[in-house]
Copies of this chain bind each other. A is one copy, B any other.
Amino acid sequence: MSAFKIKAKDTNCNARTGQLTTAHGVIETPVFMPVGTRGTVKGLLPDTIKETGAQIILANTYHMVIRPGVDVVEKLGGLHKFMAWDRPILTDSGGYQVFSLESINRIGADGVEFASHIDGKRVYLDPKIATEVQNRLGADIIMCFDECTPFPCEPKKLKDAVERTIRWAGICKDSHKRDGQLLFGIVQGGIDLDLRAYCAEKLIEIDFPGYAIGGLSVGEGHENMVKTVSFTAPLLPEDKPRYLMGVGMPEDIIAAVYAGVDMFDCVLPTRNGRNGTAFVESGYLKMRNSSHIDDDSPVDRSCDCYCCRNFTRAAIRHFFNVGEMLGPILLSIHNIRYFQRLTATIRAKITENTFADWAKQMLAQKKQVSE
């Protein structure tokens, strides 16, 4: 039986709602996954994360391997127990981080050697090891070890990365030994549509229970991203979940759902929250701004999060002004809830078959705001 089931389709675009069944529960899609880089969504207790409506969170294999190490996490009973999170978890493969540390790694045909960003210790990752490590961490969804290219990227390097990603995907599938974990393939190819099509075709031949679109949101811009996603998503099997990695802004998510994408993750809600920026209907609010000094309204009147139900803009501005942790904590809650409300709205619109029109309207508005 397939882990993914489509519930509703919007007849005017490729958007769909679905249910993805994992070992730790069913995920309603489209879904936004908050990021818990080093075993914690920064500043938030698991119960607080749950209260935002988050159905699944992401953890970074690279960071967990560096500290505290996979041995420790495994000995303690796996990532769920370590993080005290009993809902689904997705781990990336470490590929993205490894290839971001470009200056300190050596890419071979079979794997990558890199220096720990903490103590410089040499670490080696290849598709087999990355898969075994993810088997041991024990997330519900795990990812193939891929080569994530920067933007822009010279054609030869892009082509090589795609070939390597395809070859490695086969090794990942063969190395995957743990039941109850869904291993997703990752389509690479930058903004080269031919390469995207080629990569998708080859990965589909290998056959995965889900497919990701990787290598985007690396500087190519909204239009290039939407163009690439709109081309690539429909090439992926309709009955499998599609995951756009590391994305992103509300407008990116809406456009990608329109193209048929089901899953998203991004550090934006927590990173912006820590920096004092709140997502609101009309765009952003910079909460450090002195205009909020005695403002008794909540961050967003239309929001039902713990922060907006309890705190004024003035108090939040004060917490940032004096450097109190509660500022970042409250805005992280608000921003994660913002993305949960966004995806809940998206699911409702698709169910009503009104998503396509709503999406066009929202994207026009967002464009106006950003201009």
Contacts and interface: CB of A to CB of B under 8 A. Distances in A.
A326 B40 contact: yes
Contacts of A76: 294, 296, 312, 314-315
Given A76-B294, A84-B310, A312-B82, A68 B325 contact: no
A325 B318 CA distance: 19
Interface in A26-41: 38-40
Interface stretch (A43-51, A132-140, A261-269): A43-51
Given A294-B75, A315-B76, A324 B38 contact: yes
A296 B83 CA distance: 12
A81 interface: yes
A42 B45 CA distance: 14
A67 B322 contact: yes
Contacts of A293: 68, 72
A329 interface: yes
Interface of A: 38-40, 42-48, 67-68, 71-72, 75-77, 81-84, 293-294, 296, 306, 310-312, 314-315, 317-319, 321-322, 324-326, 328-330
A357 B71 CA distance: 47
Chain multiplicity (copies): 2
Contacts of A67: 318, 321-322
Contact of A311 (B48, B75, B84, B318): B84
Contacts of A328: 325
Contacts of A42: 324-326
Nearest to A296: B76
Residue among A39, A46, A68, A77 facing the most chain B CB atoms (10 A cut-off)? A68
A313 to B, nearest CB: 10
A35 B75 CA distance: 37
A319 B40 contact: yes
B39 A306 contact: no
B310 A46 contact: yes
Given A83-B315, A84-B310, A311-B84, A38 B322 contact: yes
Contacts of A71: 294
Given A294-B75, A321-B68, A312 B40 contact: no
A335 to B, nearest CB: 15
A77 B329 contact: no
Contact of A39 (B296, B324, B325, B330): B324
Given A43-B326, A45-B330, A83-B315, 9 more contacts: A38-B319, A40-B324, A47-B306, A68-B321, A75-B296, A76-B296, A82-B314, A325-B325, A325-B329
A321 B67 CA distance: 8
9 contacts: A38-B319, A38-B322, A40-B325, A71-B294, A76-B294, A77-B296, A82-B315, A84-B315, A325-B325
Nearest to A51: B47
A45 B47 contact: no
Kindly list the 3 A-B residue pairs having the minimum CB-CB distance in the complex, ordered from nearest. Answer: A84-B310, A43-B325, A40-B326
A72 B326 contact: no
B326 A45 contact: yes
A326 B42 CA distance: 7
A326 to B, nearest CB: 4
